[in-house]
Chain A
Amino acid sequence: MTASSSTADFRTRLQEWLPKIVLSPSVAAMFVFVYGFIIYTIYLSFTGSKMLPSHDWVGVGNYVKLWGLRAWWTAIINLGIFATLYIVICTVIGLSLAILLDQKIRGEGMLRPIYLYPMALSFIVTGTAWKWIMDPGIGLENTMHLWGWESFEFGWIKDRNLAIYTVVIAAVWQTSGFVMSMFLAGLRGIDNEILKAAQIDGASNWNLYRRIVIPLLRPAFLSAFVILAHLAVKSYDLIIALTGGGPGRATELPATFMYSYTFTRNSMGIGAASAVIMLMTIAAIMTPYLYAELKEKK
């Protein structure tokens, strides 16, 4: 073998390896910072870690303790209420607005960006705005009184039993326009011939939507559900900005529970266990969806 052909050989081999070399930092980062960290947190959830990570194995002790904690149950029940209302209301508003906007509306180009801009804001900004709007002292209640509706009451944000619903209002405000966009894209993707045929057959407007259009929007429903569900489980900033978890601990969600147990109440083992449960919830929602998406592509 001559020297030049062995350099050429080396260069081809380098070319073969180059793609993998380029990909490797990202893959390494992913394995360490995502999956490695997940495994480490799962491990911690089986230890008696307090303020700092420790290695004394306590088995499922943290999980048993966690499910015995009132604060955790509050967080789980709140998540149930919040996620259900958030998903349902966003879907109803999103679908309704999309269908209405799809009726050859003049000014659609003006309305769409208005519906969607909240999505560009941080939840902290949303929380700040709604915190003061829903504050009975200076907000909506006060305004209604000044406008002469003396008996108007809207003090949910100060009420232990109702505060969680104010979180729903702010969250729906932020995301429902996005859901509208998803449904509108779905509606615009429907083959017009099908609709024309149905109209010629004399289907009423109501039946046209109920029997034909809405069933065709199945993929949009699925995407909306998955996105909203995973946003609901991850909700953290909005709670912090809007209610701070209060009044008392009335609006704690698993995400705020995890943070306070881990970093301020020195129960890292329990915090880790709650994070694992959050991850499992999201995995249960996302994995089948992503798997189906990936398989479809192949």
Chain B
Amino acid sequence: MAVAEQDTAIRTGTGTRIFIYGILLVFALFYLLPLFVMVANSLKPLAEITGGNMMALPESWTIEPWKQAWSSAQIGVEPTGLKPYFLNSILMVVPAVAISTILGALNGYVLTKWTFKGDTIIFGLLLFSCFIPFQIVLIPMASVLGKLGLAGSIPGLVLVHVVYGIGFSTLYFRNYYAVFPTELVRAAMIDGAGFFRIFWRIMLPVSGPITVVCVIWQFTNIWNDFLFGASFGGQSQPMTVALNNLVQSSTGVKEYNVHFAGAILAALPTLLVYIVAGRYFVRGLMAGSVKG
């Protein structure tokens, strides 16, 4: 995000400034409210939610809802808690992010430094594929995964996420490499360096920042995906699908505190990434929206 010198500030009096700070704070509370509700209520016994005030801090603190959400809550028909689904998500996310990022880097390199006739069309088609509503591919994807024997499996989900993740990863690396001086690549070619040698020795060493951006973006998107997980997850459902099953379960008492703990568990990995590397997260969002 740009941290440019700010001279755009308007000339304001004290009254206006108090007003501005007031509004900004009200909105900060608005954005923080659900997080507060989730955390506070995940640490309460159920009776304090059903018979008490959702906006109040716990009177008797407990981590029981967290334990239940993690290892014993009823998900679907099994009282497994969210743990196995958390592992499913990890097993799905790691290879999917790695593969789509590597392919994106290579594609971006080819599309900027080894241009050929028709490369813009290829890139345009890849770019458009980032934005399609995935409903348009659900039906054939279901039968193809079935035929490949990958239906309801982690490798099947990895395949789906790689295939539909390539567009964005290519976009990131292509835009990043586009401003990298082509003369350097030319010079290396004249010196006899080959395709992979140039990629390895010249492009990769400068690719750190964009790799972080791309990994964060893919990680967030794939971890948070629900549609593919619900459609093709089968026995290997990811975290989002399990959380939804937990919350929507119509049998028994609604254990709101367990739901909130589960929701935080599902949000934790992406939130952590955001807290640790928020700067890159913002850059990824921007690059995905303003194709520069």
Do A and B form a real pair? yes
Interface on A for B, CB 8 Å cutoff? Answer: 15, 18-20, 22-23, 25-27, 29-30, 33-38, 40-41, 44, 53, 93, 96-97, 100-105, 111-126, 128-133, 138-140, 142-143, 146-147, 173, 177-178, 181-182, 184-185, 187-190, 192, 195-196, 199, 205, 208-209, 213, 219-220, 223-224, 226-227, 230, 233-234, 236-237, 240-241, 244, 254-255, 258-259, 262-263, 268, 271-272, 274-276, 278-279, 282-283, 286-287, 290-291, 293-294, 297-298
Known contacts: A22-B195, A34-B137, A279-B133. The answer to whether A114 contacts B110 by CB under 8 A is no
Q: In the complex, which residues of chain B have a beta carbon less than 8 angstroms from the beta carbon of A184?
A: 1-2
| Chain A interface, DSSP helix/strand/loop, else mixed | helix
Q: Are A181 and B286 in contact (CB under 8 A)?
A: yes
A133 touches B34 (CB 8 A): yes
A128 close to B106 (CB less than 8 A): no
Interface residue B243 (Cβ < 8 Å from any Cβ of A): yes
Residues in chain A near residue B227, CB distance under 8 A: 236-237
Q: Which residues of chain B are near A113, meaning CB under 8 Å? A: 274-275, 278
A210 CA / B31 CA spacing, docked (Å) = 28
Beyond known contacts A22-B195, A35-B125, A122-B224: 12 more, CB 8 A cutoff: A18-B194, A20-B110, A33-B164, A97-B27, A122-B240, A138-B54, A188-B4, A188-B8, A213-B8, A234-B133, A237-B226, A275-B133
- Which of B28, B106, B267 touches A125 (beta carbons < 8 Å)? B267
0 or 1 for each of B273-287: is its CB under 8 Å from A? (1 = yes): 111001001100110
Contact of A262 among B138, B220, B226 (CB under 8 A): B138
Q: How far is the CB of B147 from chain A (nearest CB, A)?
A: 12
Cβ-defined contact, A120 with B274, below 8 A: yes
Nearest residue in B to A233 (C-beta to C-beta)?
A: B133
Whether A30 touches B290, Cβ cut-off 8 Å, given contacts A19-B116, A122-B224, A255-B135, is no
Q: Is B124 an interface residue (CB 8 A)?
A: yes
Q: Contact between A37 and B1 (Cβ–Cβ < 8 Å)?
A: no
Contact in complex: A205, B10 (CB < 8 Å) = yes
**Residues in B207-252 with C-beta less than 8 Å from chain A:** 220, 223-227, 230-231, 240, 243-244, 247-248
Q: How far is the CA of A103 from the CA of B19 in the complex (A)?
A: 12
Instruction: Please choose the segment from B60-68, B73-81, B255-263 that sits at the chain A interface, where 4 or more of its residues have CB less than 8 A away.
Output: B255-263
Known: A33-B141, A37-B140, A282-B132. A143 touches B55 (CB 8 A): yes
| A25 near B28: Cβ-Cβ < 8 Å | no
List chain A residues, Cβ under 8 A from B274: 113, 117, 120
CB distance from B7 to the nearest CB of A (A): 4
Given A278-B133, A282-B132: A142 and B267 within 8 A (CB)? no
Prevailing SS type, chain B contact patch: helix
Tell whether B111 is near chain A: CB-to-CB under 8 Å.
yes
Is A124 a contact of B226 with CB atoms below 8 Å? yes
* Contact status B37-A119, CB under 8 Å: no
Of the candidates A26, A33, A44, A199, which one forms a contact with B139 in the assembled complex, judged by CB atoms under 8 Å apart? Answer: A44
B27 in contact with A182 (CB, 8 Å):
no
B163, CB-defined interface residue at 8 Å = yes
Chain B residues in the interface with A (C-beta under 8 A): 1-12, 17, 20-21, 23-24, 27-28, 30-35, 37-38, 41, 49-50, 52-55, 103, 106-107, 110-111, 114, 116, 120, 122-129, 131-141, 143-144, 162-164, 166-167, 170, 178, 194-196, 220, 223-227, 230-231, 240, 243-244, 247-248, 256, 259-260, 262-264, 266-267, 270-271, 273-275, 278, 281-282, 285-286, 289-291
CB-CB under 8 A from A279, the residues of chain B are: 132-133, 135-136
CB distance from A46 to the nearest CB of B (A): 13
A289 to B32, CA, bound (A): 34
Chain A minimum-CB-distance residue to B230: A240
User: Which residues of A have CB within 8 Å of B256?
Assistant: 132, 138
Q: Which residues of A contact B267 (CB under 8 A)?
A: 120-122, 125
Chain A residue at minimum C-beta to C-beta distance from B143 = A53
Residue pair B141, A37 in contact (C-beta under 8 Å): yes
Bound Cα distance A125, B17 (Å): 35
Closest to A291 in B: B124
- Complex CA–CA separation, A124 to B240 (angstroms): 6
Instruction: Collect the chain A residues with CB atoms within 8 Å of residue B282's CB.
Output: 116, 181
CB of A26 within 8 A of CB of B103, answer: yes
CB atoms of A125 and B132 under 8 A apart = no
- Closest Cβ neighbor of A118 among chain B residues: B31
Report chain B residues within 8 Å CB of A123: 224, 226
CB within 8 A of A122: which of B131, B162, B226, B278? B226
Task: Considering the complex, give the chain B residue whose CB is closest to the CB of A179.
Answer: B289
Q: Bound state CA distance, A173 and B34, in angstroms?
A: 9
Chain A contacts for B270, CB-based, 8 A: 120-122
CA A228 to CA B289, docked complex, whole Å: 10
Residue of chain B at shortest CB distance from A240: B244
Residues of chain A contacted by B291 (CB below 8 angstroms): 290, 293
Of A132, A205, A209, A255, the residue contacting B260 (CB under 8 A) is A132
| Contact yes or no, B34 A139, CB < 8 A | no
Cβ contact within 8 Å between A133 and B8: no
On chain B, the residues within 8 Å of A38 by CB distance are 132, 136-137
B31 touches A173 (CB 8 A): yes
A-B contact pairs, 26 of them (CB 8 A): A15-B194, A15-B195, A26-B103, A35-B129, A37-B140, A97-B27, A103-B12, A118-B34, A119-B285, A120-B267, A120-B273, A121-B224, A123-B226, A124-B226, A133-B33, A184-B2, A185-B2, A205-B11, A220-B290, A223-B289, A224-B289, A240-B226, A241-B247, A258-B138, A291-B124, A294-B123
